[in-house]
Amino acid sequence: MQAEICCIMNLAPHYNAPIYRLMDAELKCDFFIGDRVSLSIKLMHYNELTGFKKELKNLKLAGNFYWQRNAVQLALKPYKKYIITGEPHCLSTWCILLIARITGKKTFLWTHGWYGNESKIKRLIKKIFFGLSSKVLLYGDYAKDLMIKEGFPADKLIPIYNSLDYSTQCKIRETLSETNIYREQFLNQFPVLLYIGRIQKNKKLDLLIEAISVLYSRGVFCNLIIIGEEAERTNIYELVDRNKLGRFVWFYGPCYDEKKLGELIYNANLCVVPGDIGLTVMHSFVYGTPVITHNNYSKHGPEFEAIREGVTGAFFKENSVDDLCDKICNWITISIEKREWIRHECYNIINEKYNPYRQIEILRNALL
């Protein structure tokens, strides 16, 4: 029996597997998913999806442009609705949108939408591109607000948010309690800051090391754990040595054991990402740890908007070590009672928005 919905994705990252499996089970989609272009990201096993039909070859063109081989012909198949990765750089998607407009089929672009730092030419291209679709599925409310200001009708824009492996993480969360993992590692009882993600320049970990050094000079002491692999050469190790912080900084390295990550995140006082942030917000919140990052929203992934100032985290003035120090100090000196309240506020935002069950509910309503 021919499925009604055709999903054409540029690729399927491993963290999207739960929502794709729900779409497979509840919406009965046919999936056509591209291979990688240049992203170094772990992909899900496409054959997990009963509706998976074919892997599409993403052909790299000039610059960031690419073409999905055999994608355009899907617009001529008897599908009624198309859910498509909404990337203007994918030239085959433009063709699908135009064919769908002519034939009266519905298209749903799943996309970041607007960042807020678009040039005039990018704004023009995006207006035309997203204007061709029936609806736009966005990762958050921030992009929706920006697009409304650009003239898009509000009822065309549907925030669908994002998610990780929520069910697995919730099961792990139920088993978590305070442990001695950091006291045993650092041999002190100072508050613990956590960074999780790849070590790369745009994360600006040098600002965090400088901030910890300044806090120490003020008599405010804390430890830091850095979880992740070095994706590009930085001066972070030398900076730690130069500031004589070696015994207070734990370079944990990469970790893919979710149970261990749950313990490490749950027992930290605060997650700090001085540079650009995205999925780390959800990973930190699901285990109850608040997040601090910078206040230049246009540089972040859409998940930044889950941070509620003073409730689930804070924003510091971009590149300001002094302001970062002040924000860290405020958050690591809160009472035990307030820390537990914050923990549950972090849980709540994930339970309410950032999980695949909420996503499938929104998606089902959007497709009506």
Residue 247 vs residues 162, 169, 187, 205: alpha-carbon distances, Å: 37, 31, 9, 17
Q: At what angle do helices 356-366 and 17-26 cross, to 10 degrees?
A: 40
Residue 214 has pLDDT above 70, yes or no: yes
**183: Cβ–Cβ under 8 A, 6 or more apart, which residues?**
189
State residue 329's pLDDT score: 97
State residue 98's pLDDT score: 98
Q: Which of 71, 84, 90, 80 is nearest to 135 (CA)?
A: 84
Adjacent-strand bridge partners of 223: 192
- Confidence tier at 38 by pLDDT (50, 70, 90): low
Query: Which CATH architecture best describes the domain 167-352?
Result: 3-Layer(aba) Sandwich (3.40)
Contact 268, 183 (CB under 8 A): no
State residue 261's pLDDT score: 98
State residue 217's pLDDT score: 95
Q: CB neighbours (10 Å) of residue 179?
A: 12
Residue 222 has pLDDT above 90, yes or no: yes
- Confidence tier at 39 by pLDDT (50, 70, 90): low
State residue 234's pLDDT score: 87
Examine domains 5-161+355-366 and 167-352 and report if their fold is the same: yes
Q: What is the pLDDT of residues 290-337, one digit of tens each?
A: 999 999 999 999 999 999 999 999 999 999 999 999 999 999 999 999
Instruction: Provide the mean pLDDT of the chain.
Output: 95
- Confidence tier at 230 by pLDDT (50, 70, 90): confident
Mean pLDDT lowest for which of 37-41, 98-102, 135-139, 212-216? 37-41
Percentage of the chain exceeding pLDDT 90: 94
Residue 70 has pLDDT above 80, yes or no: yes
Residue 37 has pLDDT above 70, yes or no: no
Q: What is the pLDDT of residues 116-160, one digit of tens each?
A: 999 999 999 999 999 999 999 999 999 999 999 999 999 999 999
3-state secondary structure 180-227: CHHHHHHCCCCCEEEEECCECHHHCHHHHHHHHHHHHHCCCCCEEEEE
What residue ranges do the domains of the chain occupy?
5-161+355-366, 167-352
CATH number for the domain formed by residue range(s) 5-161+355-366: 3.40.50.2000
Rounded CA-CA distance 173/20 in Å is 23
Q: SS3 of 295, please?
A: coil
